[in-house]
Amino acid sequence: MHQEAIRPTQDRLPVVNFLGIGPPKCGTTWLDLLLRNHPQIVMPEHQKEVFFFSRYHDRGRDWYEGLFQPRGEGGATGEISTNYIGHDETLARIAAYNPDVGIIILLRDPFRRMVSHYRMLLENAVADGSLTEVVEAHPHLIEYSRYSERLAAVARNFRRDRIFVAIYEEIFSSDAAQEKFLTELAGFLNVDAAAMLAARPEGRVRETKGAARSPGLTRFAKKVRRKLRDHDLEWLTDWLRRIGIDRSVFLKKEGGSGVTPAETEKFSRDFEVDRTAVEAYLGRPIPLWEGR
C-alpha cells in the first residue's frame, strides 16, 4: 500500500529545492538537458517528468525523494514536470512539501505554445483534426496558455522571490540573451554560473511536426510507456531511448498540421490578455511575442 502522499514539512527537511513546472512546449526538454549537465545539480536519473505532485503523489515522499541521489555541500536538487503549473491542487501540494522551493517557469507566446502542443497531440496520435476541432475536444490546450490564470495560481502558493520566469523566444534569440538567462538561472539556483554556461546543450530541441507514421502503433507505444511508468519501470524507457528507439521512430519525416489564417487571427486575439499579464508580471514588454 502506498504511504500518505505528503507529510508535513516539519517532519524533516525537504530534499527537492527546485521544480520546473512548465507549461508544456516551452523549452523544458532543453532546460532539463541543461540542468542535468551541471555538476552541482541532482535530477532523477532515468526520467524528465516524474509527475509526483500531479499523478503519483500516492506513492509517498520516501518514493519521491528516493529518485534523487544525495548531493554534496551546496548545489540544487529538483525535477521538471510540465503539468504541475496546470492544476491548483498540484501547486498546493508542492507548497505543502516545501514552501521555499524554487519555481522555474518558461513561457512561450501563448498562441505558438498552443499550436506546438496541438501538433504534439497529432504526433502522438492522441487527437486528429483541425486546431479548432482539437481544442474543443482537448481544452487543456488553451488552459496551459492562459498565463494570467496560471501565474495568479502560482503567486497564491509561493513567494515572488521564489519564482523564476523566463521567456522561450528570448532565450534563443541570441548568444548574449542565452548567456544572460543562464547566469540569472544559476544565481536563482545558487550554483556556479560558469558551469551553467558550459552545460548548455547544443542547438535547440526538435520542434513537433504533427504527424504519426502509424496512429495505431503510436497509441500502443504510448500505452506501453504509461504502463512502464505506472509500474516504476521508467529506466527501461530510458534504456530504449539510449539505443535509438524513441518517439522519432513513430513519426513521418514531414508533418501535416497546418493552422488556417482565420484560426491564427482568432486565437492570437484571444490570448492578448495573457500576453499583457506576463508583461505586467515581468514589468516590461516582450517584443518577440506575436503582435508585439
**In the block, residue with C-alpha cell 550554483:** 191
To the nearest whole number, what is the mean pLDDT of the chain?
85
pLDDT at 5: 43
Question: pLDDT tens-digit profile of 189-211?
Answer: 999 999 999 999 976 665 666 55
Mean pLDDT along residues 126-148: 94
- The pLDDT of residue 3 is 36
Per-residue pLDDT of 42-87, as tens digits, reads 999 878 899 999 999 999 999 999 999 887 777 899 999 999 999 9
pLDDT at residue 207, rounded to an integer: 63
Q: Return d(Cα 52, Cα 81) in angstroms, integer.
A: 8
**Can you list the pairs that 63-70 forms with residues at least 24 positions away whose Cβ atoms lie under 8 Å?**
63/2, 63/3, 64/16, 65/14, 65/15, 65/16, 68/15, 68/16, 68/42, 68/43, 68/44, 69/42, 69/45, 70/42
| pLDDT at residue 46, rounded to an integer | 79
The pLDDT value given to residue 1: 33
Over the range 169-195, which residues count as b (16 or more CB within 10 Å of their CB) and which as e? bbbbeeeebeeebbeebbebbebbeee
210-239 mean pLDDT: 56
The Cα-based distances of 120 to 2, 124, 217, 251 in angstroms read 32, 6, 16, 11
The whole-number average pLDDT for the span 225-249 is 56
pLDDT band at 127 (very low <50, low <70, confident <90, very high): confident
Give the pLDDT confidence score for residue 220 in this predicted structure. 52
CATH code reported for the domain at 18-110+145-207+277-282 = 3.40.50.300
| All structural domains of the chain with their residue ranges | 18-110+145-207+277-282
Residue bearing the bigger pLDDT, 92 or 12: 92
Please check the confidence at residue 247 and state whether its pLDDT lies above 60. no
* pLDDT of res. 242: 56
Return the pLDDT at 216: 57
Q: What is the mean pLDDT of residues 161-179?
A: 97
The yes-or-no verdict on residue 185 having pLDDT over 50 is: yes
